[in-house]
Amino acid sequence: MVVLGEEWQTAATVSLLNDMLCREGIRKRVVMFWNANNTFSFDRIDWAQLQKAATISTVSKYMKHIMSRMGLNPIVIPNGIPTSLLAEVDEGLVREVRKALDADLLLCKIARWDPDKRWNASIEAIARLKEGGMRPVLVARGGIEAHGQEVTRNALALGLTVKEATVKTGSPESYLSALREAAPADVVDVKFHLPLDFLRILYRAADGVLANSGHEPFGIVGLEAMAAGGIAFTGCTGEDYAIPFVNALVLETGEPLEIVGYLTYLREHPDESERIRRAARETARYFTWEAALNNLISKVENQARIQDNMCVDESYSRTKDRRPMNCVPVWN
């Protein structure tokens, strides 16, 4: 039996389950994992108890290093994306998006309104590009957080025009109409839910997808953008999949000029832009949920060996079409 708990809400449950299994004398029959997708509410967790109860895992080397400083040593099991996101994007709709916004440089950023997401650096990069004589447009989709008001004020103070895009119905044509109606603008603030199907079109249409967080445990947006053939501008945190100038642009600082410099480079070298897009899609194939599942199963099997809990059939381990053992997710 394999039990996998995830995030802080399940930590106490995993520990209690461990105690119950020990009392019943069957703990050795169960492999227990607890996974951290973020650092949220780490202060609420009894780490000493949790370490005794389960094997601790996390989603990136970045998170592993954060947790190592806490005296923990988690194993890394990356997140994944659905294989369906590797499908080709409708290039006709990609052209329609670019036509609707009529920009020299089209950028997009999808993230919570949070200072860690480096929204202000992205806005300042747009202002710098505009000062340089270009017509950049940032399509921004935030959340409901108060930081969004600060970002808007900052954009207006920098002389940028900000317009909201709204829709009454949910369809690709209505999304395109909303973008057309918001243009011309330096920042288009999307005030409606963008489904993943349309996001993929936006990622492919953009000259850069700004997934430039200062703290990002894994970075699913950057990976989704890469799968669509977009150029992800990631931070330098949990995005283990991003290789600078190979399949993405990796920002080492929070300075807007770094974004401007890379965008200028891509604009001057369109062949490099296309090469990065192709490499991005190829990389995304290694980070599907199927790949993540095989990684997880291998780690579970090894933990079972450590526990001397099961005899692993090596021929099974070598098969490609592997299925999980009896896994019971413990989610909130």
pLDDT at 53: 96
Domain with CATH 3.40.50.2000 in the chain: 84-286
pLDDT in tens, 13-72: 999 999 999 999 999 899 999 999 999 999 999 999 999 999 999 999 999 999 999 999
The residues pairing with 6 across neighbouring beta strands, listed in sequence order, are: 35
With a CB cutoff of 8 Å and minimum separation 6, the contacts of 306 are none
Lookup: tokens for 42: 């780490």
Place 329 in a pLDDT band, splitting at 50, 70 and 90: low
Whether residue 2 contacts residue 330, with contact meaning beta carbons closer than 8 Å, is answered with no
Whether residue 101 contacts residue 203, with contact meaning beta carbons closer than 8 Å, is answered with no
Of 234 and 330, the one with more pLDDT: 234
The pTM for the full model equals: 0.90
**Nearest CA among 163, 174, 195 for reference residue 96:** 174
With a CB cutoff of 8 Å and minimum separation 6, the contacts of 59 are 35, 36, 37, 76, 77, 78, 79, 217, 218, 238
CA angle 26/27/33 to nearest 5° reads: 145
pLDDT in tens, 252-292: 999 999 999 999 999 999 999 999 999 999 999 999 999 99
**Nearest CA among 202, 207, 204, 232 for reference residue 220:** 232
84-286 has which CATH code? Answer: 3.40.50.2000
